[in-house]
Amino acid sequence: MRSSKKFSLKSPSRFKQQLLSWGNQFHEIVWLDSNEDNSATGEFEAILAVEAFTAIKTDYQYAFDKLKEYQETTADWIFGYLTYDLKNDVERLTSKNFDGLHFPDLYFFQPQKIILIKGDEVEFKYLRMVDDEIDIDFQQILEQSVPLKLTNEAVKAEPRISKAEYMQKVGTMLDHIHRGDIYEANFCQEYFAEVVDLDPFSIYLSLNEISTPPFAAYLKLENYNLISASPERYLKKKGDKLLSQPIKGTARRSSNPEEDARISHALANDPKENSENVMIVDLVRNDLSRIAKKGSVRVDELCKVYSFKQVHQLISSVTAELAEGISPVEALRTSFPMGSMTGAPKISAMKIIEELEETRRGLYSGAVGYFDPNGDFDFNVVIRSILYNSENKYLSFSVGGAITAKSVAEKEYEECQLKAKAMREVLSNLSGNS
């Protein structure tokens, strides 16, 4: 079904830049980049998928059934996204909050052209109808100039709710926790701008440069744009092995090495941050146990500090062996939405989230990734991300954090500001002027 050809690379890092620049000409683009982070344990360092041959686009109703049929029928590489609002397909839930972005709930496509970078080698996997273009495209990429960031007008994103409203809503969330309705819930707030003209590709280049996360993504499908600097993996499947790596626990970085080490050490030993993480690990273990071989669910890492350019994070790694007869899409459906973006108990937390948040999450706190022809997959968690609809010119990013019994509203608000820092910086053009 696909022709494959490999080439050696003299400068993989430069080729990666040239490849991304070349890929931006197409109507449908998914770019996934580990930023050479070995801890990401991905199958590839970067993947470019362009030019749809077939596609599926749907709302939440029977979305996972439709995706299963599409994935099994194509039996090919497919790339795309799952929005948070697919919770309404998994459970009897609704999404009635304001939605300025209007992204479809699920969108996947089968690319004509896939280009994969691993080490000092690049592999082209083209559908046979276009495989005569492999050599031409490789030469064009080698001749491509490194992408330049266009100058964008500074964008000031406004909060959907005020600080006072945020504090009040966290108070309501804490009331639910103290009553025993939930133990923990992820509460998010939106920042938005209307009638915005910008070049999403340039914004991606800037955001990736100042963040260099292990699960970066640039997606353009029609007028729907995702600019993602995600540090978090949702779920990976390789053979019958599953890996989930939830993040809970955030601390700032410091330019002073001694202070930075102190901050990292304090995060590792913070009882509140550790308890948040452990609660979500328990939730992930429970989700995976429903589709795993008996006794195969394990916690390989618990509350380990990983340091990124913008923040330190506590990350845990949960593994399992997929039980026989469970389809790849079913593995996703059973654990969706991811525990780190919902809470515990999961359904109660999602109901309370819907009541308290003002905005429909959409692709924020959903997932972007791919399936390969064997049914293996890898998906990130869409956080630290900017969403943009180039048709209605609406721009949005959201930030949030886990609310537990030990939460202090003021500190939770400060954590949100820390998580918003990189997005604010690129939108205000600070990165272009530094």
Residue 36: pLDDT over 90: no
Which domains does the chain possess? 2-433 (3.60.120.10)
pLDDT, position 155: 93
* Better-scored residue on pLDDT, 151 or 261: 261
pLDDT, position 149: 73
Q: List Cβ<8 Å contacts ≥24 apart for 40-43.
A: 40/214, 40/215, 40/233, 41/236, 41/243, 42/214, 42/236, 42/378, 43/118, 43/238, 43/376, 43/378
Look up the pTM and report it.
0.95
How far CA 78 is from CA of 67, 86, 117, 376, in Å, comes to 10, 18, 17, 11
pLDDT, position 433: 40
47 half-sphere exposure, CB direction, 13 A CA radius: 26
Q: Residues 104, 107, 112, CA angle at the centre, nearest 5°?
A: 145
| Residues involved in catalysis | 232, 248
Q: Which residue has the tokens 């995060």?
A: 267
* Better-scored residue on pLDDT, 328 or 309: 328
Tell me, rounded to whole angstroms, the distance of Cα 278 from its chain centroid.
21
DSSP 279-317: HHHHHHHHHHHTTBPTT--EEEEEEEEEE-SSEEEEEEE
Residue 383: pLDDT over 50: yes
By mean pLDDT, which of 33-47, 115-129, 379-393 is the weakest? 33-47
The CA distance from 353 to 96, in Å, is 12
What integer is the mean pLDDT of 68-87? 98
| pLDDT level of residue 278 (50, 70, 90 thresholds) | very high
Structure tokens at 195: 């009638």
The SS3 call for residue 181 is: coil
* Better-scored residue on pLDDT, 38 or 165: 165
Tens of pLDDT, residue by residue over 144-160, are 998 777 777 899 999 99
Nearest in space to 322 (alpha carbons), one of 305, 359, 297? 297
The SS3 call for residue 413 is: helix
pLDDT, position 160: 97
Nearest in space to 367 (alpha carbons), one of 377, 354, 357, 352? 377
Strands (DSSP E) found in 322-425: 343-344, 367-371, 377-380, 385-389, 394-403
Q: What is the mean pLDDT of the chain?
A: 95
**Beta strand 121-127 with 385-389: parallel, antiparallel or unpaired?**
unpaired
Residue 37: pLDDT over 70: yes
pLDDT, position 150: 73
Residue 38: pLDDT over 80: no
| pLDDT level of residue 432 (50, 70, 90 thresholds) | very low
Q: Which residue has the tokens 């948070």?
A: 84
The CA distance from 409 to 283, in Å, is 24
Residue 41: pLDDT over 90: no
Residue 56: pLDDT over 90: yes
pLDDT, position 431: 42
pLDDT, position 42: 82
Percent of the chain residues past pLDDT 90, beyond the cut:
94
For residues 83 and 58, the answer to whether their CB atoms sit within 8 Å is no
Category of 102 on φ-ψ map: left (φ > 0), alpha (ψ -120 to 50) or beta: left
Residue 393: pLDDT over 60: yes
What integer is the mean pLDDT of 350-374? 98
By mean pLDDT, which of 25-39, 147-161, 305-319, 414-428 is the weakest? 147-161
Percent of the chain residues past pLDDT 70, beyond the cut:
99
